[in-house]
Structure 1
C-alpha cells in the first residue's frame, strides 16, 4: 500500500475504503470513520463536518450540495441538499435590502460578486448531512462529527491554497466586524490570515457538538434556525418558516452509457450532469467510435463549444428542469452538435468535493458549495451564510427574479462510473463553469484511454467558454497549434491553475485494488482507511 497527500493505492484485503478530498484533514476525517467501521456514507458526513472547518471559504453549514450514492444493496440515488430560494420574493416597499457588490481580486482580473443578508438562500447543509447519516449511514451522528469538532476546537494551520482563496475573496471575508474577527489577520485586520496561521473556530465546534446531540432540529426550529432568521430580519429575505419548510430532495440520477460504462451523475435542477452527458455523447460519436482513444485536444475543445451552444439553445442557461434536459439529450439537439463539429466552423468557484468508496461496495460522490459567502456570520454559530442569490451565474435572468421556494440551479455534478467488470469510480470537482469540462476530460482519459486516476487528473486541461479557449501548459506543440487554429481567441496559461477545477476521485478496480487521487490544483488529498 502507498499513501501520499495527493494519491493512495492499496488492496481491498488490507483497507476499509478510499477517500479523495480537497484538504488532507477532510480526507483524514473520512478515513478515520471508515477505519472505525463506518461505511462510505458515514465517511462523507465526517468529511463534510471537517471540510466546514478546514475549507471554510468553500464549504459551510450555511451552504448546501449534492450526493450521488450507490448503496451496495440498493438502487443509486441523488440526495439534493442544495440551497432553496426564500418563500417570499424580494419586497418592493421602502424597506432597503442588504445587497451590494464587492470585487474579488484574482491577480490578473477582478470579478464582481454580490453579498449581504439578501444574497443568502435557505441553506441545506445540516439537513443534508443528517439525511445522509439517517438514510444511508450506520454510525451515530455524534461519532461522525467528532473529527470536525476536534479540528474546530484545536485549530488547524491554514493551508496555502485556502489562504490564497481567502486573499482573493477578502472583501467578503472581511465584510463585517464579526467576519473579520474570524478570518482577519490579528496583526493586520485589514488582511486575511496568512498561510500557516492556526484557525480556531470554537463557536463552530459548539454548533457541531449541538448538532450531534440534537440533530437537524437545530436548523429547522432550533437555535441555528433562530439565528439565521434574526440575522436576515434586517435587510434579508430568509425567515424561520423557510428553515422549517426546507426538505432534502431525492432523485434518480441521470443515467447514461459511455464506452461500456454506466455513468451516474446529477440530474435537474443541476445542469452540470446533463452537460457532461451531452459532451460524452458527442465524444462517442467521434470517428474513433465506442472503443477508440479519446478525442485530440482540438476536437475536445470543439465538443466543449458545441456543448455550450446546446446549453443556450436548450434553455439550460436559465435553469435546469426535466424538460430542458430531455431536449438537450434528445437526438435533434445531439444532431445539431454533431453538425457543428463536422463543419469545424468555428468562474474561481466556492465549491469543493469529496469522493468515497468502501470495501463493502458502497460508492459516494458529494459536491458542496457556499458560493463565496454573503459576508455575514450567523450569530453565535461560527459559520458564514451563503450568497447564492448574489451569484450572477446562478441568476441569469437578473437578481431577485427567481421563483420563490424553489431549488437554486447549479453546475455541480458529483458522478459515479461503473464498468461491467465491477470497476467503480467516484469523482467530482469544484470550479463553477469549469466543473463540466474538468469532469468530461477526466472521464474520457479514464474510460476511453484507461489512464490511471492520478495521471488523468494531473494531465493538462482546456476549457471553452463561447468562442474563447483556455489551455493549461503541457499539451503537445502540434495540439496547441491545432487548438489555436480552431480558436483564434485563446490563451495558453503559464502554469496549472485552480481555474480548471479540482477533480478528487477514487476507484475500486475489478481485482479489488483501490486508487484515490486528489487534484493538486485545489489542494487535493487522498487517504486509504486501515482497520483501527
Structure 2
C-alpha cells in the first residue's frame, strides 16, 4: 500500500464526518477526536454535552504506552440542604419496559469536558481549536435531518427533553418532539462552541458560562458553585496495561471500574484457553459470572485469581469511588501516522434544564441510583466519580493498533470483552467482530443474549439461570462498540456498531 490510511468509527454519520474532515485538512487523530466530540454535542445530544464528562485513551505514534486523560465528572464539594435541592424522578420509556431516572439541578455533578478538550489539544493537537469546532458549529447553525435513532432516543427520554421551556425550544419546538427527518438545529450551542474555541476552558470555569452554571445551580436547587468549577482538574493517568494473547491492552485505570473488570475477564478467558477449553459463548458467560463475583467481593478474590495479583488495590479503589452508568457515546480514530485516540463521553441523560442561553444541559450523574440510593444529597463530597466507560487501545506485536470503546451502561465491559476476543482470538475482521452476537450476565443472575449463537451455546446459556432473555435481534442494550484498526502496511479497517447506527470511514 503506497499510502497509509486513516480510520474513524463513531456513533453518528456527522460525528464521523467531522473527524474525517479534520483528518483530510491535515489534522491528526487527536484533532479529529476533538472535532468528533464537539459534533457529538450537536448530533448525539442525548448522549453527549459540554455539561458532562469522559475519558480519552491516547497513543501517540511511536509512544511506548498510551496515556489516559480523565475528564469525568466530580461530585460537588458541598451538599446543599435537602429541602433546597431540585431532584426528582422521571420515567424513561424503552417500550417493553420503563426505567426511573432522577433529574433537576440537584442531579448535576461538576462537568469536565471543556477542560478535557483543551488538555488533549495542548498535549497532542496540531490544528487550531477554532478549526476543530467548525464542523460542529456549521451543523448546529445550518441544521440537519434528525436520524431515526436519535429521534427514538428523544422519545425514550421525552420527560427530560420536555421538562423546561428552554429544553422544549430545542428538542420540541412547537410543543412536539422532533421526529426522524425533521430539521434539528441548535444555534445557541454553535455560539457556545465558537466562544469556547476563542476563550478556552476558562469559559466553563470562571467565564460567562461558568458563571451561568453557578447562578442556575444557586437559583434552581443545584449543588454546584464556582468553587466546584475552579477546583476541577483533568487527571492524566498511566493506563492499566494487561497482556492478552500476546497483545498489550491499555485499559481505563481506577478510580474507574470498567478497565479493571475487562482485565479480569481477559485473564479468566486466557486461563480458560490454557486449560484447553474453547473461548465460546459458554466461556464468555463463565467469565462474566466470575467477574461479577469478584466485583461483589470488592476485589478480595481478584488477587488470588490473576496470575500477577496487581489489581486488588485497583479494584478496591474502583469500589471506593461512586459509580456512574449512564448514556454514553464513543469515538475511535487512528490517523495515517499511527496516532490513536479512543474517546468515551457521557452526559447521563441530562438534568432537564438548558444552561442560560447556551444550548446544552448539565449532566444528571448524581441521579444514578448506585450513587444517591434514591435520596437527594447522599453522595461523597468532592471526589472523582467512577465509571464503566472503558476506552481501550490494543497494541499487537506486528504493529497493529486497535482503538475500541462503547456506550451501554454496565454492559460496556462485557461488550468490549467480547469484541476484543473476536478480534484477538477468533481473528475476525472488525465488522464481523462488532456484528457478532453478544451476551451479558447481570450480577443478579439474569442472562441476556442476541440471536446468532449455536443451538448448543443457546441451550448452555439458558441453563445458567431461571431468568433468561433471548433477544429477537441485535439491540442497543448490548452496547455500541465503535472500532478503528490500523497497520502501517496492511491498511485500516473500521466498524460502527449497527446496534446504535454507528458509522466508520476509512481514507
Q: TM-score range by the shorter chain?
A: over 0.9
TM normalised by structure 2 equals: 0.93
Which residue is 1:244 aligned to? Answer: 230
Among 70, 84, 101, which residue is 2:74 paired with? 84
Deviations 1:195-243 (A, max 9, x none): 1111111100100111111111101111110110111012110011211
CA distance in 2, matches of 1:528, 1:510: 13
Pairs within 5 Å for 1:59-458:
59-74=48-63, 75-92=65-82, 95-186=83-174, 189=175, 191-234=176-219, 235-286=221-272, 288-289=273-274, 295-314=279-298, 327=300, 329-332=302-305, 349-395=326-372, 399-458=376-435
CA distance in 1, matches of 2:446, 2:474: 18
Question: Is the CA contact (8 Å cut-off) linking 1:225 and 1:240 kept in structure 2?
Answer: yes
Structure 1 residue 471 corresponds to structure 2 residue 449: yes
Q: 1:160, CA displacement in angstroms?
A: 0.9
Pairs within 5 Å for 1:18-29:
18-29=7-18
Deviations 1:165-187 (A, max 9, x none): 1100101111111111111153x
Q: Secondary structure at the match of 1:355?
A: strand
Structure 1 residue 506 corresponds to structure 2 residue 484: yes
Question: Is the CA contact (8 Å cut-off) linking 1:68 and 1:415 kept in structure 2?
Answer: yes
Question: Is the CA contact (8 Å cut-off) linking 2:106 and 2:376 kept in structure 1?
Answer: no
Question: Is the CA contact (8 Å cut-off) linking 1:64 and 1:83 kept in structure 2?
Answer: yes
CA distance in 1, matches of 2:23, 2:462: 47
CA distance in 1, matches of 2:338, 2:4: 15
CA distance in 1, matches of 2:151, 2:277: 39
CA distance in 2, matches of 1:116, 1:460: 37
**Cα distance 1:334–1:373, how it changes in 2: closer, same or farther (>3 A)?**
farther
Which consecutive residues of structure 2, in runs of 5 or more, have no partner in the other structure? Answer: 310-323
CA distance in 1, matches of 2:249, 2:344: 16
Question: Is the CA contact (8 Å cut-off) linking 2:4 and 2:489 kept in structure 1?
Answer: no
TM normalised by structure 1 equals: 0.89
CA distance in 1, matches of 2:55, 2:139: 24
Among 50, 58, 63, which residue is 2:47 paired with? 58
Among 480, 497, 502, which residue is 2:475 paired with? 497
**Cα distance 1:408–1:397, how it changes in 2: closer, same or farther (>3 A)?**
farther
**Cα distance 1:473–1:453, how it changes in 2: closer, same or farther (>3 A)?**
same
Aligned residues: 490
Question: Is the CA contact (8 Å cut-off) linking 1:282 and 1:334 kept in structure 2?
Answer: no
Which consecutive residues of structure 1, in runs of 5 or more, have no partner in the other structure? Answer: 1-10, 315-323, 337-346
Bigger drift between 253-262 and 394-403 goes to 394-403
**Cα distance 1:496–1:131, how it changes in 2: closer, same or farther (>3 A)?**
same
Q: 1:73, CA displacement in angstroms?
A: 4.0
Structure 1: which 4+ aligned runs deviate by more than 4 Å?
A: 332-336, 394-399
Q: 1:400, CA displacement in angstroms?
A: 2.4
CA distance in 1, matches of 2:282, 2:228: 47
Q: 1:398, CA displacement in angstroms?
A: 6.0
Structure 1 residue 482 corresponds to structure 2 residue 472: no
CA distance in 1, matches of 2:421, 2:339: 23
CA distance in 1, matches of 2:398, 2:326: 36
Question: Is the CA contact (8 Å cut-off) linking 2:4 and 2:337 kept in structure 1?
Answer: no
CA distance in 2, matches of 1:394, 1:483: 31
Question: Is the CA contact (8 Å cut-off) linking 1:294 and 1:449 kept in structure 2?
Answer: no
